[in-house]
Structure 1
Amino acid sequence: MKNDQRLPGRRALLRLAAGLGTAGAVRVIAADPASEPFRPAAELPEGAAGSPAVHQELHSSHRLQPMTEGSPPRFRPAAPPVRTRPFEKLPEVGHAMVLTFDDGPDPLCTPHILATLRKHDVRAMFFICGEKADGNRDLVRAIAEDGHTIGNHSWTHPLVTRLSRAGVRDELGSTSEVIEKITGNPPFWYRAPYGSWNRNSFEICAQLGMEPIAWTLDTLDWTEPGAGTIVRRVRQGAAPGVVVLSRDAGGNGSQSVSALRRYLPELLDAGYRITVPRRR
């Protein structure tokens, strides 16, 4: 994507971005000092399922609750609890997994992903960039009308930890506003570009009534490894509660589309329920 190209070391940054996702009742990583940026763990080796060792430490039980009800006033003082980590994976209730798609919407790739999801009657999460949403409003409406969850992925896909507090507020607030204008509902979930989080982003995320969510398994489809490699990574990483990260914009989207057509029916045949986290 053009925004990625403005940042040196994109590959190195993304290889660091192996966070974890959540839904319903979850387990949350204990906080480090809020003033420090959240440093995602290194990429999982291919075939590894579940969280890296660094994410297996200092867990505490927490039941996810909405921070706000309805559409909150913009930029109100952040009410507790303000997160200092994104949520981890889904609770292991049955064989449930979450499929997520970042960086879109894209008029060439996103419609094919929607068609595949529709064919198998499953719902996914789309973390969209505000500037792309603004230019592809019909596509955003199509995502919402199909029952998928739309999340905030910032306006221009910057490295948020390099922005001022006002810059973070503008990136997240503008994106939430355009999503609400298009769909009628503000987003409840936020995913940081590159998986890069800090205190400002967590607090402003809370001010906007959103919860932070990351991922468990990165397909690294942006590197264009071939559809077969993407399929193999999903097969090997599949497990109850896993949140899969793919992209529906940037790079050779045809590989992501082709891979989804192959691994989605395999997951369903293996008994996995493809779901999305719900606001409680």
Structure 2
Amino acid sequence: MKKIIQISLVLLILMIITVGYTSGYGAGEKSVSAYAAVQDGNGTLKEAAMENVPADRQYAVEPDKIANDNKTTDGSKTTDDNKLTDSNNTKINNNVKDGDKIKDSSKIKAGSGQKDIPASGMADQGKPMVALTFDDGPHPKYTAEIVEALKKNDARATFFVLGSRAEKYKSTINTIVENGNEIGNHTYSHRELTRLKKSEIQSEIKKTSDILEAITGKAPFLTRPTYGSVNENVKTCAGSPLILWSVDTLDWKSRDKEKIVHRTLNTVKDGDIILMHDIYKSTADAAKVVISELRARGYQLVTISQLYQARDISLENGKEYFECSTYYAENNKK
């Protein structure tokens, strides 16, 4: 009897191992659906498993490693500023066509110290320019530091904010706008839009739009889809141009000031849209160096709207935009 029990146990173990290897995933690989399940309704990761996810679905965040660094105190309440960030999972498309004209471009305000960018919102077409963009904020400390660095260097940027954080840090949103920068929509809770129903996509975008309009008096014109993920439903439901990027600084991955600076400055060219995340201390520190050095190299640092206005390109709702070089502009004008 004892032998029979032992043999049964061995057979059971062999069956379990066999099932594990025939399920389509290796010992250290987690299925896409299993990983997506760790994202709760508020868009917050419940576990860090990036190294166990197939490369094409890696989410750019490791909460356990950055939680302590990104703790902030808001009055007597301590909050965790670890949020989801984007990974560069969309190919560059240089064939975007123009469409409807940018709305309310005359209302773009010039911040203090914007010496070479007129109040009309137009940059100098004869000079090279790039657009710095920051996702997942605002952060009460790091965003403010970046805005101050922009101001000191006669520069602007576009901040794609989460509605859940915008309603929490209203004064930071106002600081961004008051200094002549642009605010964009990055959804309310950072859920991946391509996994949602149309009604859910609309809700994620509209909720943030309403929050930002209540704070600033103006609804955002631009949207950056989370993870850079776009499908037909997202294009249809967004109701705005979809702004992607041509330079991923990988700040979400390295969280190392020197690596971020090196990657950015060795990659950047005229017309680039640069992706960064203003929820990291390392990004704020790197941004100060990048902003100063790009200005020293003769680049104008402009908002997304200014970049396309200067190249005489209109932005169309539901279209994806990755960069705006002179070559791109010459081949995409009406």
Shift of the 136–269 alpha-carbon distance from structure 1 to 2, 3 Å rule, reads same
**Does structure 1 residue 192 correspond to structure 2 residue 225?**
yes
Classify the secondary structure of the residue corresponding to 2:167.
Answer: helix
Structure 1 stretches of 4+ moved >6 Å: 67-70
Name the structure 2 match of 1:82: none
Please state how far the C-alpha of 1:223 moved relative to its aligned partner.
Answer: 1.9
Distance, in Å, in 1 between the alignment partners of 2:300 and 2:158 is 14
Q: What does 1:180-219 correspond to in 2, within 5 Å?
A: 180-206=213-239, 210-219=240-249
**Higher Cα Rg, which structure:** 2
Distance, in Å, in 2 between the alignment partners of 1:164 and 1:186 is 23
Classify the secondary structure of the residue corresponding to 2:276.
Answer: strand
Name the structure 2 match of 1:147: 180
Which residue among 289, 312, 327 is the counterpart of 1:262?
289
Please state how far the C-alpha of 1:197 moved relative to its aligned partner.
Answer: 1.0
Query: What is the root-mean-square deviation in Å for CA atoms of aligned residues?
Result: 2.8
Equivalent pairs: percent with the same residue? 29
Which stretches in structure 1 are left out of the alignment for 5+ residues? 19-38, 42-50, 71-91
Distance, in Å, in 1 between the alignment partners of 2:259 and 2:131 is 19
Name the structure 1 match of 2:156: 123
Deviations 1:124-170 (A, max 9, x none): 00000001001111111111111111000000001111111111111
Distance, in Å, in 2 between the alignment partners of 1:69 and 1:258 is 33
Give the TM-score, by structure 1 length.
Answer: 0.71
Name the structure 1 match of 2:100: 65
In the alignment, is the contact (CA less than 8 A) between 2:138 and 2:166 conserved in 1? yes
Name the structure 2 match of 1:3: 43
**Does structure 1 residue 247 correspond to structure 2 residue 277?**
yes
Distance, in Å, in 2 between the alignment partners of 1:224 and 1:13 is 14
Classify the secondary structure of the residue corresponding to 1:127.
Answer: strand
Which residue among 266, 283, 298 is the counterpart of 1:271?
298
Distance, in Å, in 1 between the alignment partners of 2:209 and 2:46 is 23
Distance, in Å, in 2 between the alignment partners of 1:218 and 1:93 is 26
In the alignment, is the contact (CA less than 8 A) between 2:276 and 2:283 conserved in 1? yes
Please state how far the C-alpha of 1:189 moved relative to its aligned partner.
Answer: 0.3
Please state how far the C-alpha of 1:65 moved relative to its aligned partner.
Answer: 2.8
Which structure's relative contact order is higher, taking Cα pairs within 8 Å and 6+ residues apart?
A: 1
In the alignment, is the contact (CA less than 8 A) between 2:251 and 2:277 conserved in 1? yes
Shift of the 6–200 alpha-carbon distance from structure 1 to 2, 3 Å rule, reads farther
Name the structure 2 match of 1:32: none
In the alignment, is the contact (CA less than 8 A) between 2:157 and 2:304 conserved in 1? no
In the alignment, is the contact (CA less than 8 A) between 1:125 and 1:276 conserved in 2? yes
Name the structure 1 match of 2:58: 12
Please state how far the C-alpha of 1:198 moved relative to its aligned partner.
Answer: 1.4
Name the structure 2 match of 1:178: 211
Give the TM-score, by structure 2 length.
Answer: 0.60
Classify the secondary structure of the residue corresponding to 2:274.
Answer: strand
Residues paired across the two proteins, number: 219
In the alignment, is the contact (CA less than 8 A) between 1:14 and 1:195 conserved in 2? no
Q: What does 1:222-237 correspond to in 2, within 5 Å?
A: 222-237=252-267
